[in-house]
């Protein structure tokens, strides 16, 4: 996936989050520094947690009749997608680690 596609996706998520009242900073470019991967993973996990909290709050508002059903579905969908992305990255990192460990020297 190219940086352009990632930026487009982030912009789309930002637009969707603005619609439901959440604020999420959009990153313009991915960093390539050695600690960049660690920071990226940490930020991704914290954003997934934030989306989960926003999703729960929006769902509660929907139950109380204070939020539109489309907003609730969008918030839950965004939280689910963020969680699936974090899990996919985790699984890929574990698979890469296992591949390296099983390499013969």
Domain interval for residue 55: 34-105
Q: What is the pTM of this model?
A: 0.59
Residue 19 placed within a domain: no
- Name the domain count of the chain: 1
Length, in residues, of the chain: 105
Residue 76 placed within a domain: yes
Residue 101 placed within a domain: yes
Does residue 55 contact residue 82 with C-beta atoms inside 8 Å?
A: no
* Cβ neighbour number for residue 103 with a 10 Å cutoff: 7
Q: What is the pLDDT of residue 105?
A: 78
Residue 52 placed within a domain: yes
Which pLDDT tens digit goes with each residue over 55-105? 999 999 999 999 999 999 999 999 999 999 999 988 999 999 999 999 987
Residue 55 placed within a domain: yes
- Residues of the chain with pLDDT > 70, as a percent, come to 67
Residue 62 placed within a domain: yes
Residue 45 placed within a domain: yes
Angle between helices 36-63 and 69-101 (to 10 degrees): 150
Residue 15 placed within a domain: no
Q: Is 16 exposed, middle or buried (0-12, 13-18, 19+ CB in 10 A)?
A: middle
**Distances in Å between the alpha carbon of 59 and those of 12, 34, 45, 69, 88?**
21, 39, 21, 9, 25
**Distances in Å between the alpha carbon of 23 and those of 2, 54, 91?**
24, 10, 28
């Amino acid at each position: 996936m190219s940086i352009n596609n990632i930026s487009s996706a982030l912009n789309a998520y930002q637009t969707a989050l603005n619609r439901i009242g959440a604020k999420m900073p959009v990153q313009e470019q991915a960093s390539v520094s050695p600690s960049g991967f660690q920071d990226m993973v940490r930020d991704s996990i914290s954003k997934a947690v934030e989306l989960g909290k926003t999703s729960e709050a929006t769902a509660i508002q929907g139950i109380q009749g204070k939020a539109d059903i489309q907003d609730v579905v969008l918030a839950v969908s965004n939280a689910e997608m963020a969680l699936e992305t974090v899990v996919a990255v985790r699984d890929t990192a574990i698979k890469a680690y296992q591949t390296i460990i099983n390499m013969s020297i």
